[in-house]
Amino acid sequence: MAKVIYPGTFDPVTNGHIDIVSRAVALFDEVIVTVARNPGKTSLFTVEERVEMLKESLKDYKRVVVDSFDGLVVNHAKQVGAVGIIRGLRAISDFEYEFQMALMNRKLAGEITTILLMPHARYTYLNSTIVRNLAQFQGDVSEFVPKIVVEKLKIKFGKNKE
């Protein structure tokens, strides 16, 4: 059974992330979407909140598991028996970073393959930072994120009085 992980901070999960998951599910037997605990980043949502939003957003995908991890992605991939690491590639600007990470991961664990997947064109400009900024200033994010994320963003930014 071919199992892969799709790691990220998912702060919050976007429809672009969901699109990558749907592409990965079409290629692999099991996709483990895993929330990275990144001490170098200040997150809007806790790891537990991000896991909850992912579980709700991905509940219709039967071969998807949601979890979280600390440490190196390749170590987590080995721990769960994954053959690869899924990464989303939105634009050329993502390529250099993803290429460097893929080469380092190959050096650390040559048996783990990095698989770069491109989302649908309508998501190429979309990322979690843009969504957070838009929501913070009362912008409508409903076409960019799952319904649970819209609700959680309203709560975070004190806008749940509709």
Residue 27 CA: distances (Å) to CA of 10, 79, 90, 101, 160: 21, 21, 19, 22, 39
The reply to whether 128 belongs to the active site is yes
Please pick, among 50, 128, 132, 152, the residue that the annotation labels catalytic: 128
Inter-residue long-range contacts of 158-162, CB under 8 Å, 24+ positions, other chains counted: 159/135
- CA 157 from chain center: how many Å? 22
Q: What is the largest CA-CA distance in the chain?
A: 51
Residue 44: per-residue pLDDT: 96
162 is a domain residue? no
Residue 87: per-residue pLDDT: 97
103 is a domain residue? yes
**Number of domains, the chain:** 1
The reply to whether 90 belongs to the active site is yes
Q: What is the pTM of this model?
A: 0.93
Please pick, among 23, 50, 76, 90, the residue that the annotation labels catalytic: 90
The reply to whether 68 belongs to the active site is no
CATH number at residue 84: 3.40.50.620
161 is a domain residue? no
Residue 41: per-residue pLDDT: 79
Compute the half-sphere exposure of residue 151: CA atoms within 13 Å on the CB side of its CA. 9
Compute the half-sphere exposure of residue 150: CA atoms within 13 Å on the CB side of its CA. 12
Residue 76: per-residue pLDDT: 97
Residue 160: per-residue pLDDT: 57
Please pick, among 41, 62, 107, 161, the residue that the annotation labels catalytic: 41
Contact 120, 92 (CB under 8 A): no
Contact 16, 88 (CB under 8 A): yes
8 is a domain residue? yes
Centre a 10 Å sphere on the Cβ of residue 3 and count the other Cβ atoms it contains: 17
Q: From CA 38, how far away is CA 46, in angstroms rounded?
A: 11
Please pick, among 17, 50, 87, 132, the residue that the annotation labels catalytic: 17
Can you give the residue range of the structural domain that contains 72?
3-156
67 is a domain residue? yes
Centre a 10 Å sphere on the Cβ of residue 65 and count the other Cβ atoms it contains: 15
Q: Average pLDDT of each block of 10 consecutive residues along the chain (162 residues)?
A: 95 97 98 91 93 98 96 96 96 89 96 96 92 94 97 87 48
50 is a domain residue? yes
53 is a domain residue? yes
Residue 141: per-residue pLDDT: 96
The reply to whether 76 belongs to the active site is no
Residue 162: per-residue pLDDT: 46
